[in-house]
Amino acid sequence: MLRKNSLLLIVLNIVAAIGTIIYNSLSQIIPIGTATNADIANRLPIYFFPANITFSIWGLIFLSWIGFAVYQALPSQRTNPFVRAVGPWFFLSCLGNIGWLLLFQYEQFAPSMIPIVWLLLTLGIIYVRLRRVDATPSTADRILIFAPFSIYFAWAAVATVANTSYVLYAAGQRDLFGIAEATWGAIMLVVAGAITGSVAIFNRDIVYVAVIVWAFVGIIARYPNITPVAWTAGGVAALAALAVVIVSVFGWGQASARELRR
């Protein structure tokens, strides 16, 4: 007999999705804290920080949460092993999301590293667990489970690097080891691109790399006149996109679950 997903898990996922969307919305409308996170972030010239328009991706992330929450609650999905693989980690990731907003908007920058790293770790756990399920995901599974967490995990990776940069800058660490700020920005872009690109290529995850490319295009748009940053962002984004296309065409790397490994 196939094991059914618990009612508690279903309810937790629905509460997490709705509650986090509401909190995120209120944090920008009221705002909660001294100012919105965008207003605070724009105070400092961080060279690993996308243009404001790039953050419109949150609309897609919110929609994907709703899609996942509804899908996993359907009676037909009570035995879906991919829903069970997500487990309580989506709920726990939402605590990290809310915790980061709360601390950042009250300008507790150093402590804000704790919830954002927690967010990244919990999403990473979901990402890995989904790909360890010995089953073939349906098209609906790919669209409503795999894609949402690829998008969210990729964006959390970008946000973690950006938050780290902001924390260092706010603490006065603006000229580490005598290296200029723009050069540090370029270095961070390369490091972030290598890490996130490896994840995307290894899993042949075009959705994941598309988010990274989107973020890097946003960085180019924000700093078009900072040559080291703009050129590095463009180069890394182009290489990451090209690598994933090549890997997908030739079938190298490891895909998600049994079907995605083909």
Q: What angle do CA 101, 105, 107 make, to 5 degrees?
A: 120
Domain that holds residue 71: 7-260
158: nearest Cα among 90, 68, 92, 233 = 233
Cβ neighbours around 114 below 10 Å, total: 14
Going by C-beta distance under 8 Å and a sequence separation of 6 or more, which residues neighbour residue 156? 116, 119, 120, 123
Summarised one tens digit per residue, pLDDT across range 119-173 is 999 999 999 999 999 999 999 999 999 999 999 999 999 899 889 888 888 877 6
pLDDT at 241 over 80: no
What the block records as the tokens of 37 is 């996170």
Q: In terms of C-beta density within 10 A (0-12 exposed, 13-18 middle, 19 or more buried), how is residue 240 classed?
A: buried
Residue 102 in domain: yes
Q: In terms of C-beta density within 10 A (0-12 exposed, 13-18 middle, 19 or more buried), how is residue 72 classed?
A: buried
Residue 140 in domain: yes
pLDDT at 1 over 90: no
Residue 2 in domain: no
Residue 142 in domain: yes
- Omega before 228 within 30 of 0, i.e. cis: no
C-alpha R_g of the chain: 19
Residue 195 in domain: yes
Summarised one tens digit per residue, pLDDT across range 169-204 is 887 765 555 667 777 778 888 888 888 878 877 888
Residue 63 in domain: yes
Residue type, 215: A
Residue 1 in domain: no
Domain count, the chain: 1
Summarised one tens digit per residue, pLDDT across range 210-221 is 898 899 889 888
Asked if 37 contacts 105 with a C-beta cutoff of 8 angstroms, the reply is yes
Cβ neighbours around 134 below 10 Å, total: 7
